[in-house]
Structure formats: C-alpha cells, structure tokens
Amino acid sequence: MRIPALAISALAALLLAGCDRPAGDDDIAAPADTTAPAPVDDTGGDAGVTMRYSCDDGYAIAVMGDVVRVSTADGREIELQRVADSAPPLYAGEAMEFAIGSEDAMLAQDEGANWTCRPE
C-alpha cells in the first residue's frame, strides 16, 4: 500500500506545528536534578570519617577528628568528644568512653560493661 505524498506532508506539518506552540504553565516540566551526589570516601560514604571500628554486641564507631559517633544495635547514636592531649586517643561523654590502642580499641560504659572494637 502506497501512502500519498500529500498525506505525509500533512502529517509532518501537524507534528511540526505542535513544536512551535507556546508553553503554558501546565506544559512546563520540572527541571532535571542537577545536584551532584555527595562525595563518597573509602570509609563508607560519611564525609569526615577517618576510621571505623566494629565492636562486640553490634556497636559501631566512626572516628571524625575530635569526635567519635557510637552507633548502637538499637539505632541510637552517641557522640563522644576527644579528651585533650590524651595519648593514645581517648573519647568520653554520655557515660561512655572509647579508647584507641595499638592493636584494637575498647568501648566502655560507666556501669562496667566493656566491648572490644576492631578496625574495619
């Protein structure tokens, strides 16, 4: 079946006419998301994290300069501040302490519980 040239021309004119139509408010598309993704570092994606430790009973530690973030197994997060001039590094607060040793680290709670932590 052969399509007449006049029909093809009319179809092309209709398609092109739709391209020149002024945009109304309902025709405006949302702008594309041009935000760059957050930088990913080798410590799991948190900017500023210099070291990670995993501890017994599901505790996780993220070291960020003078602060460590303790994540508990039930989802709580506790921040501990570095004790000035402590060597080896010691972080304290919220009734917890985190001490970094040469081989591993120790998380301790005031009530006497201690957890061994290993670098990730």
User: Per the domain annotation, does 91 fall within a domain?
Assistant: yes
User: Per the domain annotation, does 36 fall within a domain?
Assistant: no
pTM of the model: 0.60
pLDDT of residue 110: 87
User: Per the domain annotation, does 89 fall within a domain?
Assistant: yes
Is cis: bond before 22, omega within 30 of 0?
A: no
Residues of the chain with pLDDT under 50: 1, 5-16, 30-31, 33-44
* CA 80/CA 106 separation, integer angstroms: 13
User: Per the domain annotation, does 85 fall within a domain?
Assistant: yes
Q: Number of folded domains in the chain?
A: 1
